[in-house]
Every structure is written in structure tokens, then in C-alpha cells.
Structure 1
Amino acid sequence: MNKEVLEQAQNLIMRVSMLDTKNIGRVATLDEIKSLQKDLDNRVPAWYIELISTIPLINLEFGFQEFEPEEGFDGISYLTWAEPDTIKEECIDAVPGCAVFDKGYICIASCSHSSGDPFFISIDEGYNPPVYRMDHNYGEDTEDILMMGKYKIAESLSNLFKNAFIE
């Protein structure tokens, strides 16, 4: 696993635990990992499997600066880190995940405020990839999603963890 991803994920968990020990996430179980890899044809990278099976990110909610702040709105959006079953569902059955999975995108989180626009990483962009929000309104049109409905919310996974807002 990328050292920066590991360090920033650990730092995020430490920051959360200092504020609220009840809302720390959990790690993936061995059975969940086996099922995830089986159902997604072993396409989830080993480094990501290591991340979710060693750092308690699953079900953790945190914010990130998605928009410029303006009067009455701080520009912060919130996500919830996905459970292995949610990753499978988003990649196989749900839009837009089912449309972009074959292009190498894996769902990692859902919007905490029910926008329906989940968050993804590309397995082809290294060990500390950018994080994207994908607009579900483009349906199953893969090219439209990737050209017009994919929004980079963090330059890297480690930056997402480093800059996370915790309530």
C-alpha cells in the first residue's frame, strides 16, 4: 500500500477518535473480502483490500471541500465510506457504477446526503489515485459519464483523507 495513503488514513482515524469514539468505522472481514473479490472478478486492487481490511474506514462519514464557500453554504459535502456489499452493488447493479466498472472504476463511498452520486477511484491511476464523484443522471452511458459526469473531488486518496472535515 502507498505510504502516504496509509499515513493519511491512519491520521484521519486518529482525528475522528479524538472527537468521537462511537463514530469510528470498521474494517472489512475476511468473508467480505473474499465475497467482494469473487463477485468483482478479483479486480479490486490488493492495496485497496489492504486499506479497508486494516484501517477502520467502512461506514466512516466525513466531509470534503467540494464547492467554493458562499453566503449560507460552506461548500462542504459529506461521504460515507462503502462497505464491501455496497461496493459490489454499486459496481454491478447500480448506475453509474455498472456503466464504469468495466473501464476500471471502483466505488469507494456514497454521498451521505442522498444525492445518488457515489465516489470512485480508477484502478488504472496508481496506488494513490484521484477520487471522483460520478453523476448518476447520465444513466448507463459510459462515455457520457466519463466525459461529462465525472468530477474530481480530490487529487489523490491521501489528499482526501488529509483534508477531511470531521464534525
Structure 2
Amino acid sequence: MQPILGSAIEEFIEISEDADIKLTSRKATKEELKMLESELPVKLPQWYRDLIGDYPIINLEVKWNVETTNPSYSGETAIEFFEPQYIIEETMEEFPGIDLVHLNYICIGSEPAGTGDNYYIRLDDEDPTLYQFPIPIGSDETEPLLERRIQIAEHISDVFREAIKTIQ
């Protein structure tokens, strides 16, 4: 795993604890890692195994601010990192995950406010870009799925770094 990502997570956790923010997250168990490897049709890279097995990000909710020109939007967004079972379900049983997994994307979390837009990463990069694939009601079914992709953060480490700014 990229040292940048590990350092960003460690710093976020340390600053959260210093600010008396109670984190209710955990690390993936060995059994959960085996389950992910057996249930997902993509090779789970070592960096991702390390990410969820060595760092307590499962069930972790991370909030950060994003640039916006919409005056009615606060600019705050969030991700709640999924349990391994939900990663499998959202990737293998739900749209758009089921169509993205063969492109090496997996679903890693959701927007806790309940928008229904989950977060996806490609497993090709050790500090991957975070995406959403919103499916608007009445959307054009002929529009290619990858053209709907919205980049949320250039790297997952950026999410943790931006979240630190909201704590300090």
C-alpha cells in the first residue's frame, strides 16, 4: 500500500482521537478477507487487503468539504466504509456494481445521508481515485456507464487529508 494513504489514515485517526471523536470502526478479520477473495471475481490486491486488514476503516464515517458553486449545498460530503459483506453485495448484486466489477471496480462505501450513490474504486492503483456512478431517475439507459462516472477525490488519501481540516 502507498505510504501516503497509510499515513493519511493514521493522521486522521490520531487527530480524531485527540479531538475526542469516538470512532466506531474496525479492521477486517482474516475470515472476512478470505470471504472477499472467494466471492469477488477480481483479484484482491495486497494493498487493499492491507488497507482494510491493517487500518480500522470498516464502518468508519469520514466527512470532508468539497468545492461547490451551488448556494443551497453546504459543500460537506461523507463516506461510510462498508463491511466486507456489503462490499460483496453492492459489487456483485446491485447496479451499477455488477456492471463495474469486470472493469476492476469494487464498491467500498456509501454516502451516509442516504442518497443512494455509493462510492467505488478501481483496484489498479494503491491510492485510487474515489468515484460515484449516479443513476438519475429517468436516465438514458443507452448512456455508457463510465460516462456517468463522477470523480469525488483524486486519491482516497485526499479524502482523509481533507477530513482532517474539518476536525482542526
TM-score, reference length from structure 1:
0.87
Deviation, structure 1 residue 85: 0.7
Q: Which residue of the partner structure matches residue 50 of structure 2?
A: 50
1:161 aligns with 2:160: yes
Aligned pairs, number: 164
Q: Which residue of the partner structure matches residue 61 of structure 1?
A: 61
| Paired amino acid for 2:16 | V
Provide the rounded CA distance (Å) in 1 between the counterparts of 2:94 and 2:38. 18
Deviation, structure 1 residue 67: 4.5
Rate the CA distance shift 1:66–1:146 in 2: closer, same or farther, 3 A.
Answer: farther
Provide the rounded CA distance (Å) in 1 between the counterparts of 2:119 and 2:142. 15
Radius of gyration: which is bigger?
A: 2
Rate the CA distance shift 1:50–1:143 in 2: closer, same or farther, 3 A.
Answer: farther
Rate the CA distance shift 1:44–1:143 in 2: closer, same or farther, 3 A.
Answer: farther
1:30 aligns with 2:33: no
Structure 2, unmatched stretches of 5+, are none
Is the 1:130–1:155 contact (alpha carbons within 8 Å) kept by the matching residues of 2? Answer: yes
Provide the rounded CA distance (Å) in 2 between the counterparts of 1:97 and 1:42. 12
Is the 2:64–2:159 contact (alpha carbons within 8 Å) kept by the matching residues of 1? Answer: yes
Is the 2:42–2:104 contact (alpha carbons within 8 Å) kept by the matching residues of 1? Answer: no
Deviation, structure 1 residue 74: 2.1
Rate the CA distance shift 1:142–1:69 in 2: closer, same or farther, 3 A.
Answer: same
Q: Which residue of the partner structure matches residue 130 of structure 2?
A: 131
Q: Which residue of the partner structure matches residue 84 of structure 2?
A: 84
Deviation, structure 1 residue 122: 0.8
Deviation, structure 1 residue 166: 4.9
| Secondary structure of 1:163 counterpart | helix
Give the 4+ runs in structure 1 shifted more than 4 A. 69-72
| Paired amino acid for 1:13 | I
Provide the rounded CA distance (Å) in 2 between the counterparts of 1:62 and 1:52. 15
Structure 1, unmatched stretches of 5+, are none
Provide the rounded CA distance (Å) in 2 between the counterparts of 1:127 and 1:157. 9
Is the 1:134–1:145 contact (alpha carbons within 8 Å) kept by the matching residues of 2? Answer: yes
Rate the CA distance shift 1:136–1:46 in 2: closer, same or farther, 3 A.
Answer: farther
Matched-pair identity in %: 30
Deviation, structure 1 residue 108: 1.4
| Paired amino acid for 1:17 | E
Is the 2:41–2:101 contact (alpha carbons within 8 Å) kept by the matching residues of 1? Answer: no
Deviation, structure 1 residue 52: 0.6
Provide the rounded CA distance (Å) in 2 between the counterparts of 1:103 and 1:111. 22
| Paired amino acid for 1:27 | K
